[in-house]
Amino acid sequence: MDFLIIGSGLTGTTIARLLTDQGKKCLVVEKRAHVGGNVYDEEHHSGIRVHTYGPHYFRTASLRIWDFVRRFAEFYPFEARVQSWVQGRYENWPPGEAFLSRLSAEERQPGFHGIPSNFEEMALSKMPRTVYEAFVKGYTQKQWGVAPASLSPALAHRFNLQQGSENRLTPKARFQGLPAGGYRMFMENMLHGIPTITEVDYLLHRQDFRPKERIIYTGPIDAFFGYDLGRLQYRGQQRVHTFLPDTQWAQPVAQVNNPSLENGPHIRTIEWKHLLPSPQAESIPGTLLTQEIPFSPSDPNHYEYPFPDAANQALYLQYKKRAQALPNVLFCGRLGEYRYLDMDQAIARAMNVVE
């Protein structure tokens, strides 16, 4: 082969597709029994499609990326709306005027002034303390298992308060939807015609693969080096599924966040029928709920979120320096570059790698 791609997640699969389109010979090696990485779904016995590794809401502001993904699936419209269970009622997340209007003028002021040095200060610089305490603090503590003040301020760049009555999660994304045949079919279509080996751990069989040009490695960067400088931390989700055969709808929206520490260890509950096209959802009796409970995995198969603190970033930079010294291996993707990437960001990064 010309290129060996390790990992069939969104980054690796996009790279393999684009290189193949250019006439290069690629081989994809995947450790799991299925392709697609965390962009994968399955069908529950009820007929409800479940995203195996948590909900994936596809959205992008890029026409180039939107045209690319529609090569491999027809997308039906879906704009995520998220709510939080706060003070005994459903509230929009991110909160907007409906919640802020119930606060006094003093309460509506940002909770921090100055140069933020951690996640808590950055969040408070963007919102009132009342909003932070109700929506963000407990959620963040459960998600990462540490005090929010110990996390990187960059983590808070992922959210802002909504304007007016807007209740869509990402209103600025021009193109939003879900693949009609599911993410599993979408990823398999992207790999169509590309030789792929599953259930093989490349790190245990490096000597068996010798590409002519380069290795594209999308697995954990610390695993590539045998963890000899220490292990990078990740968080994942344990998922508890509950099927309610006699309930047609249990939640007002697909995702309800659970920021209260007193209301259980789960950070959110997903009702999957909300992600289906309306006629299909209405025709299915019963509903399926999934509670997501954060934990710290040791198995790379359960890695989902790189840990956003200074110690792990410093360790990653040590591994990155060693990786850059390897002439024929390119590290990329969420695990290879140790950073969170939305789906459109992963595709954009893959496009840049190929170019």
The answer to whether position 100 is within a domain reads yes
Q: What is the dihedral of CA 138, 253, 63, 75, to 10 degrees?
A: 130
Instruction: State both tokens at 300.
Output: 């790379």
Domain-embedded: residue 333: no
Tell me the Cα Rg of the chain: 21
Report CA torsion sign: 140, 101, 251, 274: negative
The answer to whether the Cα torsion of 299, 301, 305, 306 is positive or negative is positive
Give residue 163's pLDDT: 80
Q: Return the amino acid letter for 156.
A: A
Peptide bond connecting 279 to the previous residue in cis, omega within 30 degrees of 0: no
235, part of any domain: no
What's the rounded Cα separation, in Å, for the pair 303 and 218?
A: 13
- Whether residue 341 is contained in a domain is answered as no
Q: How far is the C-alpha of 214 from the C-alpha of 186, rounded, in Å?
A: 26
| Structural domains of the chain, count | 1
Type and span of the H or E element at 193? none
Overall pTM surpassing 0.85 (yes/no):
yes
Instruction: Look at residue 183 and tell me if it is in a domain.
Output: no
Q: In this predicted structure, what is the pLDDT of residue 159? A: 84
Residuewise pLDDT in 10s, the chain (355 residues): 999 999 999 999 999 999 999 999 999 999 999 999 999 999 999 999 999 999 999 999 999 999 999 999 999 999 999 999 999 999 999 998 889 999 998 889 999 999 999 999 999 999 999 999 999 999 999 999 999 999 999 999 888 888 888 899 999 999 999 999 999 999 999 999 999 999 999 999 999 999 999 999 999 999 999 999 999 999 999 999 999 999 999 999 999 999 999 999 999 999 999 999 999 999 999 999 999 999 999 999 999 999 999 999 999 999 999 999 999 999 999 999 999 999 999 999 999 999 9
Beta bridge partners of 257: 84, 268
Alpha-carbon distance of 186 to 39, in angstroms, equals 9
Handedness of CA 155, 161, 166, 172 (dihedral sign): negative
Residue pair 60/66 in contact (Cβ under 8 Å)? The answer is yes
Residue 273 counted as domain residue: no
What pLDDT score does 158 carry? 82
Structural domain of residue 151, as residue ranges? 82-158
Q: What pLDDT is attached to residue 199?
A: 97
Residue 105 placed within a domain? yes
Task: For residue 271, give every residue at least 6 positions away whose Cβ sits within 8 Å of its Cβ, in sequence order, or none.
Answer: 249, 250, 251, 253, 254, 256, 287, 288, 289
Q: What pLDDT does residue 161 have?
A: 86
Tokens 């994936």, located at residue = 56
pLDDT of residue 7: 97
Please indicate, yes or no, if residue 305 is contained in any of the structural domains. Answer: no
DSSP state of 102: T
